[in-house]
């Protein structure tokens, strides 16, 4: 299978070169935009980008959802092309693991679809292959992998037009923050049009949007047809060091996140997902700062997937100043009405367990490297008639909240 996939990749590159020699060609991308004219110069730039980002693989795996997962040697991954990481030594595991202070992290066995058909060998990492269709859906190479201008959020309390949230925020604190961990209920929400998305995530931040020095680390699950070309629920990450203005990107599409694990593909589809009134599936995510190296580690379930090196950040090279968790959608107002895009399960927080989406067992990391529940959280929603949020706290679930909603309705117009 891997030989076939590598041969197919080579054939596609040859076809691309032949197309370039004939000048302007028509390329079809799987989105509402359909096919568009691509100049020879643009196509050449895309080809060069794909050659740089799609590193040579030891073998490749065809995922049931259509993705190709490349098994790339850990020391050949894209992040190491970053000039800031020129002399970087890969840290294979964190030096110290935070000490848990309460909390129940038992989860259903959520997995990624490609794990059902193959695995990457030791010494490699799993990378979802980027295709020309992926780039074309973004509209331009410069925009690929980044948040669209309309997607860039200033603050959760004062979102840009089109963004709607139902979130929880860390209560007021003067203490530096060194990470968070929480368990996320996983769903497959309906997304009305390809230019919209629906997600559930955590935010680890320092700085501010207004000063253009906002550093963020983001991780969660999302449904985003514009990025992936389908409506699957996928694991994602994002980072920026200057309020989304030129730095950072989704997943591994730019040089930043250093992956060390071979069993998780960032951007890969998740399965199974929760059903209304039925089985509930969860994933536990964490972003934890290593007190020795300063790197910010991503955990997925009990796996240390990789890290954002301290070198790529400015303010987050020290500590975070704010945390948030929750749901977000983009509302493009199709047909002049509020979108029908679901947030979470598509049902309001008041529906409760097995019906509404939730985030539970929220923990934060303090300066002593202890992982413990926050003293308080503050919940807020942009438009409660469309999507809402309700906090919850007990001995089993710890600090938690339900959130979500269906979007367009008689009350949400």
pLDDT in tens, 193-215: 999 999 999 999 999 888 889 99
- pLDDT of amino acid 248: 84
What are the helix (H) ranges across 202-299? 225-228
pLDDT of 393 higher than 50:
yes
pLDDT of 95 higher than 90:
yes
Name the residue with tokens 């949007």. Answer: 209
Q: For 19-54, give one letter per residue: b (16+ CB within 10 A) or e.
A: bbeeeeeebebbbeeeeeebeeebbebbbebbeebb
- pLDDT of amino acid 101: 57
pLDDT one-digit tens code per residue, 267-311: 999 999 999 999 999 999 999 999 999 999 999 998 999 999 999
- pLDDT of amino acid 371: 92
Name the residue with tokens 């679809």. Answer: 113
| Local confidence band at 97 (pLDDT 50, 70, 90 cut-offs) | confident
Task: Give me 385's structure tokens.
Answer: 């008639």
pLDDT one-digit tens code per residue, 134-149: 999 988 887 887 776 4
- pLDDT of amino acid 12: 46
218: annotated active-site residue: yes
408 in Cβ contact with 175 (< 8 Å): no
- pTM value is 0.88
> Which residues, at least 6 apart from 106, have a Cβ–Cβ distance to it below 8 Å?
none
pLDDT of 81 higher than 60:
yes
Q: Looking at 164, 253, 301, 328, which residue is catalytic? A: 328
pLDDT one-digit tens code per residue, 336-366: 999 999 999 999 999 999 999 999 999 999 9
Q: Looking at 164, 195, 196, 218, which residue is catalytic? A: 218
Per-domain residue ranges for the chain?
Answer: 62-404
- With the CA atoms of 73, 79, 80 and 82 taken in that order, what torsion angle do they form, in degrees rounded to the nearest 10? 160
d(CA 68, CA 70): 6
**Mean pLDDT confidence for 4-10:** 47
Peptide bond into 124 cis (omega under 30): no
| Local confidence band at 246 (pLDDT 50, 70, 90 cut-offs) | confident
- pLDDT of amino acid 412: 97
Cβ count near 357 (within 10 Å): 28
164: annotated active-site residue: no
């Amino acid at each position: 299978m891997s030989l076939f996939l590598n041969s197919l990749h080579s054939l596609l590159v040859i076809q691309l070169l032949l197309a370039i020699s004939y000048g302007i060609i028509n390329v079809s991308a799987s989105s509402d935009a359909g096919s568009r004219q691509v100049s020879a110069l643009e196509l050449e730039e895309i080809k060069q980008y794909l050659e740089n980002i799609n590193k040579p693989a030891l073998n490749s795996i065809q995922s049931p959802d259509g993705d190709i997962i490349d098994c790339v040697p850990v020391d050949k991954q894209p992040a190491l092309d970053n000039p800031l990481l020129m002399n970087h030594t890969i840290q294979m595991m964190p030096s110290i693991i935070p000490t848990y202070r309460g909390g129940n992290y038992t989860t259903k066995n959520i997995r990624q679809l490609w794990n059902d058909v193959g695995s990457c060998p030791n010494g490699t990492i799993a990378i979802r292959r980027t295709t020309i269709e992926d780039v074309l859906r973004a509209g331009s190479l410069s925009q690929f992998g980044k948040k669209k201008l309309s997607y860039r959020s200033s603050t959760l309390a004062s979102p840009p037009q089109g963004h709607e949230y139902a979130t929880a925020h860390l209560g007021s604190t003067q203490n530096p923050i060194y990470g968070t961990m929480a368990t996320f209920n996983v769903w497959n929400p309906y997304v009305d049009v390809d230019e919209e998305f629906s997600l559930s995530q955590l935010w680890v931040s320092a700085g501010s949007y207004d000063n253009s020095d906002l550093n963020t680390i983001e991780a969660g699950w999302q449904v985003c047809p514009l990025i992936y070309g389908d409506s699957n629920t996928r694991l994602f990450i994002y980072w920026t060091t200057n309020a989304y203005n030129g730095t950072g990107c989704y997943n591994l599409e730019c040089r930043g996140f250093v992956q060390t694990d071979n069993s998780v593909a960032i951007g890969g589809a998740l399965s199974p997902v929760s059903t209304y009134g039925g089985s509930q599936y969860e994933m536990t995510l964490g972003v934890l700062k290593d007190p020795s190296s300063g790197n910010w580690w991503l955990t997925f379930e009990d796996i240390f997937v990789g890290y954002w090196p301290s070198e790529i950040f400015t303010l987050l090279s020290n500590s975070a100043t704010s945390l948030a968790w929750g749901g977000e959608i983009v509302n493009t107002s199709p047909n002049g009405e509020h979108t029908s895009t679901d947030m979470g399960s598509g049902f309001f927080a008041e529906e409760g367990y097995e019906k509404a989406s939730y985030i539970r067992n929220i923990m934060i990391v303090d300066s002593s490297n202890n992982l413990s529940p926050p003293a308080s959280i503050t919940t807020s929603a942009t438009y409660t008639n469309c999507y809402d949020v309700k906090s919850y706290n007990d001995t089993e679930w710890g600090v938690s909240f339900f959130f979500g909603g269906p979007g367009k309705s008689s009350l949400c117009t």
